[in-house]
């Protein structure tokens, strides 16, 4: 019984504590293409293509329709217009089937931003496995500059801080680079 109690306590600390992302600020973000959904419609999402438009807010979450992931998706949906004003693309990533993400993109992302399939390889490349369930990701948010370098990382299982942190990083990037990129097309 004591071993079971210790295992439960260790699991609680793992889930409640911060998740650790190994990709540091300044690292090159791994390139990828994946199935994604926006407003319930699947499409192929390419990080390289999105970076041509500006910075990318790439956030990993454990599973669609779970309480924390729903709160986070709703908050990103509320902030998406502000991110877009600074040229940033928001995309959430989870190891859920595309059919589930189609529904999540409508109901919880409110048709505002895309959610994509993060397979186990992508979860490993971004070093965001969920402890005890490595086929799922933890909750980690990255801001990736158009040059492909990570300029912000926030890794914490609670949704709090992900939107404010990524927004502050995008705002800072935009203040330093935004005027140079406006009308560059």
Q: What is the pLDDT of residues 86-110, one digit of tens each?
A: 999 999 999 999 999 999 999 999 9
Domain ranges of the chain: 19-176
109 belongs to the catalytic site: no
pLDDT digits (tens, 9 = 90+) for 46-76: 999 999 999 999 999 999 999 999 999 999 9
Q: Tell me if the domain spanning 19-176 has CATH number 3.40.30.10.
A: yes
| DSSP per residue, the chain | -HHHHHHHHHHHHHHHS-----PPTTSBPPP-EEEEEETTEEEEEEHHHHHTTS-EEEEE-S-TTSHHHHHHHHHHHHHHHHHHHTT-EEEEEESS-HHHHHHHHHHTSTTSSEEEE--HHHHHHTT-EETTEEEEE--EEEEE-TTSBEEEEEE-SSSTTHHHHHHHHHHHHIIIIIHHHTT--
Which of 19, 47, 50, 69 is catalytic? The answer is: 69
17-44 pLDDT per residue, tens: 444 556 999 999 999 999 999 999 999 9
């Amino acid at each position: 019984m004591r071993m079971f109690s210790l295992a439960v306590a260790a699991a609680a600390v793992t889930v409640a504590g911060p998740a650790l992302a190994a990709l540091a600020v300044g690292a090159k973000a791994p390139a990828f293409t994946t199935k994604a959904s926006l407003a319930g419609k699947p499409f192929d999402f390419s990080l390289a293509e999105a970076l041509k438009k500006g910075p990318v807010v790439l956030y990993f979450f454990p599973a669609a329709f779970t309480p924390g992931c729903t709160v986070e998706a709703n908050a990103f949906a509320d902030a998406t217009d502000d991110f877009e004003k600074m040229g940033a693309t928001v995309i959430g990533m989870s190891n859920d089937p595309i059919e589930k993400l189609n529904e999540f993109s409508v109901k919880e992302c409110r048709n505002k931003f895309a959610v994509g399939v993060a397979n186990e390889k992508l979860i490993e490349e971004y070093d965001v496995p969920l402890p005890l369930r490595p086929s799922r990701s933890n909750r980690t948010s990255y801001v990736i500059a158009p040059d492909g370098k990570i300029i912000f990382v926030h890794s914490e299982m609670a949704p709090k801080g992900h939107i404010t942190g990524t927004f502050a990083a995008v705002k800072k990037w935009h203040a330093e680079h935004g005027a140079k990129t406006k009308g560059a097309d």
